[in-house]
Amino acid sequence: MNVLVTGGAGYIGSHAVRRLLQGGHQPVVLDNLFRGHRAAVADGVPLLELDLLDTAAITTALREHRIDCVMNFAALAYVGESVNEPLRYYENNTAGVLSLLKAMDEAGVRKIVHSSTCATYGEPAVMPITEDTPQSPINPYGWSKLFVERIFLDYAHANPDFAFAALRYFNVAGSASDASIGEDHEPETHIIPVLLNTALGKRDSATIFGDDYPTPDGTCIRDYIHVEDLVDAHAVVMEALQGGDQRLYNLGTGQGLSVRQIVDAVKEVTGIDFTVHLGDRRPGDPPMLYADPSRIKNELGWEAKVKDAKTMVEHAWAWFRQHPDGYADS
């Protein structure tokens, strides 16, 4: 299958490209390289340096590369930034996908696997989160993604042959198991890279925000999924997608990991006892957020292979040790 991978030079998108190649597909990367890395794109894979808002150019690309399906990872994804710059997020994450969908409509491409987010659920009172949990985002990032899901539903209603999947997940972790590609963000806000950078001495210390939550060790619990499991799920869903399908799936391990468990795993894997301070709770941090991934297992037989913090950290640590300054084009 010829697959256009938008955001394919980013953390998750670059791993998706590798998974597609392993599955015998022909990926084409579309990325404006704002936060992506040219060096993350697999050798021999075409890289189209385009923006999602360039509808005409994307239409041409879809036709020239005879694209069968789009896999969309192109998004801004910092919650705090979305609060401070909401228009930027709606323009990129929502209007950008609207532009992409218009290009697909013009080029006759009728399938898309969309990387959504569990941020569309907001702060549910009941755990675990199922696909039927009411969606009520608490920030522009979550809303920008939820609006896209609504657009897909409305477009599918008017075009019965259109097929889409929206995959919702929380924290992505790890790197390619061979450490050839990994996580390189600027700024970096994800807990495992922050901790690993602290272990490497690139940061003086790390901070745990609150240890008095109603959880077993007092720290927040979140759902972490290994990046290779995540992109495997995207590929499995894509291969199952048939005309008219409307698939909504939560992706995760079905069990949460606490901040303290992640800190302990990083110290164990690295063998470095770096400094971790205890800070105040951050406003709006729920005690627990984790997904119920049983729907995709029941319907497609998929489930995450990596469910322990140590393995996720080991793979991330291998990447960080070999690439302490990230990609060459950083």
Q: Hey, how many other C-beta atoms are within 10 angstroms of the C-beta on 278? A: 12
User: What does DSSP assign to residue 147?
Assistant: H
Strand runs (DSSP E) across 103-162, as ranges?
Answer: 111-115
Amino acid at 172: V
Give ∠ CA 310-210-214 in degrees, rounded to 5: 85
CB 155 within 8 A of CB 101: yes
Check residue 321 and give left, alpha or beta (phi > 0: left; psi -120 to 50: alpha). alpha
**Contact assessment for residue 125 and residue 175, using Cβ atoms and an 8 Å cutoff:** no
Q: Which residues of the chain have pLDDT under 50?
A: 330
User: What residues act catalytically?
Assistant: 141
Peptide bond preceding 283 in cis form (omega within 30 of 0): no
Q: What pLDDT does 330 receive?
A: 47
List, for residues 236-265, the tens digit of each pLDDT value. Answer: 999 999 999 999 999 999 999 999 999 999
In a 10 Å sphere around its CB, with 0-12 CB exposed, 13-18 middle and 19+ buried, how is residue 243 labelled? Answer: exposed
User: Which of 284, 289, 315 lies closest to 133, judged by CA?
Assistant: 289
| Both tokens assigned to 164 | 């889409």
Task: Please confirm whether the linkage preceding 287 is cis (ω < 30° from 0).
Answer: no
**Where are the alpha helices (H) located in 159-293, listed in sequence order?**
191-199, 227-240, 259-270
What Å distances lie between residue 310 and 184, 220, 254, 314, CA to CA?
Answer: 20, 18, 17, 6
Within the chain, strands assigned E span 2-6, 26-30, 47-48, 69-72, 111-115, 163-168, 171-173, 206-209, 221-222, 224-226, 246-250, 257-258, 276-279, 288-289
Which domains occur in the chain, in start order? 2-173+225-250 (3.40.50.720)
- Any idea what the Cα angle at residue 115 is, between residues 190 and 136, rounded to 5°? 80
Max CA pair span of the chain: 58
User: For residue 114, what is the DSSP state?
Assistant: E
pLDDT of residue 186: 87
Q: Output the pLDDT for position 328.
A: 72
